[in-house]
Amino acid sequence: MSDKYDLVVIGSGPAGYVAAIKAAQMGLKTACVEQWVNDKDTVQLGGTCLNVGCIPSKALLDSSHKFTEVRDGLAVHGITVKKPEFDVATMLARKDKIIAQLTGGIAGLFKHNGVTAIAGKAKVLVGTKVQVTDAKGNVQELQAGNIIIAAGSLPVSIPPAPIDNEYIIDSTGALALTEVPGRLGVIGAGVIGLELGSVWRRLGSEVVMLEALDDFLPMMDMQIAKEAGKIFKKQGLDIRLGARVTKAEVKKGRVVVTYATAEGEHTETFDKLIVAVGRKPNSQGLFASDSGVTLDERGFIYVNDYCETEAPHVYAVGDIVRGPMLAHKGSEEGVMVVERILGEQAQMNYDCIPSVIYTHPEIAAVGRTEQELTADGVEYKIGVFPFAASGRALAANDAEGMVKLIAHAETDRILGCHILGASAADLVQQVVIAMEFGSSAEDLALTVFGHPTLSEAVHEAALAVDGHAIHIANRKKR
């Protein structure tokens, strides 16, 4: 006999738990299936983001950045500190405490809102049924009015560098290193590689990043990426582009990596090697053959603009569907789906989803890049304001980077914003809101910003779009 629910959510990461809580708040009898269990053999909520992704990586990034601030950044303020020391075990314990607090918080919210958490691996059957197999092999069947699949993603592995979880590790292993590697190799110079490489470089590792692509951060605005590359090089990250790893093997407790460039074959030896080449959808084994759900060649679930799969009353959100693998994108998709299940005409604005790289300085973006607009033949105008001209940034001794605002040449509507600098993740949200309301660059330029703040850089970039910036020399109009 099946247990009946109005909604069954598969996965308890940000996409899944938000959808489950929203549905329960709206009166739907809701269950959330999660296959992770903790050392107490109880369900571990939060998914990749809270357990081995967004949250733990930010904890380590903040801890390591504070260490570099004490070690390298206080003398300019007239503060003298004896040689600081760093304890990795304490840093990891702090990270684990944060994880426990947040995952426990989700469990509390489930209880408060009446969401039933079920431990086990889910399989979607025909007729909106979900089969759940727990760690002991016990099987139960859930009958759902609707299903939301939010099973998330997994680290991508590559044949030349097989993960052994000791010397060759993935992003999960990189968050649990118990000592600082003397020499650290990172395959991939994207978001994950840069964040993890930054953590261990700050703590003393010699970090070499091997990126197969010839361009650095090609998904980011080219001007921002170029400037960021200069800053990261100055920080000691050895980023080698056009470097394709062909072999990695462990010899005498070290990892010997062979890679090819346009100049030929090269070899490097590391104490640890992190494989950070991206993530893939966690869809394998998730569906019965007659479930009606269609996957593409990469394993992503096919959905329309409203996250509906080809099976009636079955939806999919987050990393397991098209679009950027971002926790906030999945969360909002989950909310949209719940509202549509309830008969509302909710929709997502995929043009206004911000992305962030939590290095220091941070890199944040929303909307189109200059190279994308050029390729599409869209006429645009830009305004750039450097943090070096920001009083607040200079006062904080944190003045690297810039704000770049892009607007349509004729309508002045904001098309994109790209920020490299302190608090970029928070600053870009101002432009996200503006874009959501269809604002023009002039709208931002006419808005009063507090002084002195980092936000003024956004204001000045908006003014610079039409050559009206006050605190920098404006470009001469052609």
Q: What is the pLDDT of residues 323-344, one digit of tens each?
A: 999 999 999 999 999 999 999 9
Q: Residue 417: which residues within 8 A CB-CB, separation 6 or more?
A: 365, 366, 367, 403, 404, 405, 406, 428, 431, 435, 458, 461
For 438-465, the pLDDT digits (tens) are: 999 999 999 999 999 999 999 999 999 9
CA distance between the termini of the chain:
75
pLDDT for 434 equals 98
Peptide bond preceding 361 in cis form (omega within 30 of 0): yes
Residue 122 and residue 131 in contact, taking contact as beta carbons nearer than 8 Å: yes
Q: In the chain, which residues fall in CATH 3.50.50.60?
A: 3-155+280-348, 168-277
CA distance 19 to 21: 6
Task: Tell me if the domain spanning 352-464 has CATH number 3.30.390.30.
Answer: yes
Band the pLDDT of 42: cuts 50, 70, 90: confident
Active site residues: 451
Q: Does the predicted model carry a pTM greater than 0.85?
A: yes
pLDDT at 477: 61
pLDDT over 60 at 97, yes or no? yes
Do 396 and 390 meet the contact criterion of CB atoms below 8 Å apart? Answer: no
The number of C-alpha atoms within 13 Å of 256 and in the hemisphere containing its C-beta is 6
pLDDT digits (tens, 9 = 90+) for 304-317: 999 999 999 999 99
Separation of alpha carbons 414 and 444, rounded Å: 9
Q: Check residue 422 and give its pLDDT.
A: 97
**Inter-CA distances, 316 with 3, 253, 301, 328, Å:** 21, 43, 7, 15
Indicate whether 476 pLDDT > 80. Answer: no
Superfamily of domain 168-277: FAD/NAD(P)-binding domain (3.50.50.60)
Is the pLDDT assigned to residue 153 strictly greater than 60?
yes
pLDDT at 77 over 70: yes
Q: What is the DSSP letter of 388?
A: G
| Mean pLDDT (whole number) for 261-269 | 98
Distance CA 42, CA 49 (A): 19
pLDDT score of 39? 80
Q: Which fold has domain 3-155+280-348?
A: FAD/NAD(P)-binding domain (3.50.50)
| CA-based nearest residue to 307, from 345, 348, 277, 344 | 348
Residue corresponding to tokens 């490489």: 197
Query: Mean per-residue pLDDT for 50-58?
Result: 96
Average pLDDT over the chain, rounded to whole?
Answer: 97
Pairing outcome for strands 380-386 and 402-408: antiparallel
User: How does pLDDT run across 375-432, given as a tens digit for each residue?
Assistant: 999 999 999 999 999 999 999 999 999 999 999 999 999 999 999 999 999 999 999 9
Tokens, residue 146: 């609707």
